[in-house]
A = this chain, B = another copy of it.
């Protein structure tokens, strides 16, 4: 039984029991949690003592004393349609007056915008008036039946995370009000306060920053319910002073519209504008400069600085080019599945990365009679995360909540003990050992590296009907023996970077993931065509390369071999409707594959090989149309694969792996370091010549495992089992 790499929550009133659990799990860190306080002698419990620190919202008194430095945000009013000449727009309609208030004091004519949303015209400042008393903007010469919006600066009255918890959980603690370190007094204050806090919290040796300066966009409606949540949003990293500074630095005005985008705000699903990228960079520079100072102070106080990847993480992009310069010791975030593991574990420039596992030790899970469910959730979370850990493990895992609750469930405690130990062994075998990969895939979208493992994500890890058919690609990739590079369109403008075997482009038309207008850029289009023509691979999912122009919807339909019928080519006969009986890619697909939401109206070009096609039952083959679901195409020396959708499943993960090998022209690699049963994965670590064979399902599985040289052995795995094999164990049996 090893020790270390495990963090547990504790509480002042649970010290003796904490000690036992530390022993049992081999934990080496304790942390506080919402609703708990660290014991006085916390540092005697464990090597590491984490303590939550709020940089810009912990001090109510400071906030009240410095109202002029409260944080701001950009909001857009509801759309209001004029029915006559005069139109009153009530700014707060649909917003929560406990959270926000329009900032009438900061020259509205300078920072606000009134836009005709029927024509897109920006109204000049003399076309509208504002009135603070009624909270309205008035147009006196509106055009009848045009709709208008006001984009306005508002003041944040209450930190929305704290507000949510207070409202939902009935917290009575004083409000957390956010002050803005872009203003001079707060800038000094947050540095001084951290010094003081470090001095006062001697037991703490890890400052758990929750987080730094600006909250991701989180806005509530007039009923106090969430109205808009954008985990990637910069609309709360805005203030009059910032806007002025931006203009001074970049030489142009940062318009409200660049952030509110006609109500879409700065959804990461939008292809970002140059102005928005400038603004992100501007904020990132300020935030990272400030965080560098905070880290320095923390280190001077002989403590480690740990960043929580959430809440006020805006401007501290873990995949930004400034991140490694911060000197942060650690980053911590929650683990929902393989994607979130890789989002954390692939971050560079910190000493360690920690994942907060599920379930939380909260009463909604840990109530009497629910122990089996708690164990199930733990197993599910661990097995999903483990696939990704076998590619690149987190450095630490931990739990949150009330330890006293979990401690009442012996089966849960026992299973957690096993997992802690399994994690440590895995870490020792895998970390830094460069697991074998057979293909390098370039995941192409408008964000590239900056949104590594963050593509298609809405509201951090929620299921959405519109995204699961694409998120499955990343979940599959997180545990496959392939190298994943996130590429932006700019990265491939001069040619696809060396080392990339396959380009993957997935998503709905017009989104940042598919790429939208980038596919009208001749340099982008020709770069990909050349890459594939010369032997590269291309995988498209959903609506890849899609934008209607030049007689096509998929701009690379010549490469993909498929296009989408959007009505304009219905007059064209489509004869390519016979599917291949068998194919390398679909060899492990037992039944009809699942495409999730799929994609309608896809047809194959002449010469394409159709792998799966569906016909309307009522009109089967009566007319020569059908919906192509999967296809492969040859393009020069290269190959392309299209699928209508790839929700995560074991079968689809295997399908994707085979598609990657096929399009990379590496079919011969399939029986190398490979476990045949789709419920299992195999990783190979050449340094030690060892194999990890892992059963991702809760049931026993039988599988054949191939060594890196293609030698084969049979294996029976228990439900969820992870087995380590030495290369020598394959020697006994010839393939």
- Interface of A toward B, CB cutoff 8 Å: 79, 81, 83, 94, 117-120, 143-147, 149, 217, 221, 225-230, 233, 261-265, 267, 269-270, 458-459, 462-467, 507-508, 510-511, 522, 525-526, 529-530, 533, 548-552, 558, 565-573, 575, 597, 600-601, 606, 616, 619, 622-623, 625, 627, 636
Contacts and interface: CB of A to CB of B under 8 A. Distances in A.
A622 to B, nearest CB: 7
A270 B117 contact: no
A522 B146 contact: yes
B549 A120 contact: yes
A575 B223 CA distance: 11
A233 B569 CA distance: 13
14 contacts: A94-B606, A118-B525, A119-B522, A144-B526, A145-B529, A145-B533, A229-B571, A261-B551, A264-B551, A269-B568, A458-B571, A462-B623, A463-B623, A465-B619
A264 B465 contact: no
Contacts of A146: 522, 526
Given A568-B270, A622-B463, A83 B636 contact: yes
Given A573-B227, A636-B83, A567 B120 contact: no
Contacts of A568: 261, 264, 267, 269-270, 511
B530 A145 contact: yes
B558 A79 contact: yes
Given A145-B530, A147-B558, 8 more contacts: A118-B522, A120-B549, A143-B526, A146-B522, A217-B571, A464-B570, A465-B619, A465-B625
Contacts of A548: 510
Nearest to A557: B79
A267 B570 contact: yes
A572 B227 contact: yes
Contacts of A570: 267, 269, 458, 464, 466-467
A117 B550 contact: yes
A117 B551 contact: yes
A145 B267 CA distance: 33
A225 B575 contact: yes
Nearest to A463: B619
A227 B569 CA distance: 11
Given A83-B533, A117-B551, A572 B526 contact: no
A523 to B, nearest CB: 10
Given A526-B145, A566-B510, A550 B627 contact: no
A724 B47 CA distance: 95
5 closest residue pairs by CB, A with B: A262-B551, A145-B526, A263-B551, A145-B529, A264-B568
A144 B530 CA distance: 8
Contacts of A529: 81, 145
A566 B118 CA distance: 19
Nearest to A618: B463
Contacts of A143: 522, 526
A267 B510 CA distance: 24
A14 to B, nearest CB: 33
Given A145-B529, A269-B567, A270-B568, A464 B550 contact: no
Contacts of A458: 570-571
Contacts of A549: 120
A569 B144 contact: no
A79 to B, nearest CB: 7
A570 B264 CA distance: 9
B120 A267 contact: no
B601 A465 contact: yes
A573 B221 contact: yes
Contacts of A464: 570, 623, 625
- Tell which of A558, A572, A625 has the most Cβ of chain B within 10 Å: A572
A108 to B, nearest CB: 21
B118 A526 contact: yes
B550 A120 contact: yes
A600 B529 CA distance: 32
Contacts of A463: 619, 622-623
A372 B623 CA distance: 25
A636 B507 CA distance: 38
A118 B262 contact: no
A120 B568 CA distance: 17
A522 to B, nearest CB: 5
Nearest to A531: B145
Nearest to A514: B567
Contacts of A229: 571, 573
A42 to B, nearest CB: 38
A508 B464 CA distance: 24
Nearest to A507: B567
Contacts of A267: 567-571
A569 B525 contact: no
Contacts of A462: 623
Contacts of A569: 263-264, 267
A571 B457 CA distance: 10
Contacts of A530: 144-145
A525 B264 CA distance: 21
A233 B83 contact: no
Nearest to A509: B566
A144 B527 CA distance: 10
Contact of A465 (B233, B525, B597, B627): B627
Nearest to A532: B145
A455 to B, nearest CB: 12
A537 to B, nearest CB: 17
Which residue of A265, A463, A464, A550 has the most chain B CB atoms within 10 A of its CB atom? A550
B467 A225 contact: no
Central interface residue in A228, A459, A529, A565, by most chain B CB within 10 Å: A529
Contacts of A575: 225
Given A146-B526, A530-B145, A508 B571 contact: no
Contacts of A522: 118-119, 143, 146
A467 B600 CA distance: 13
Nearest to A529: B145
Contacts of A147: 558
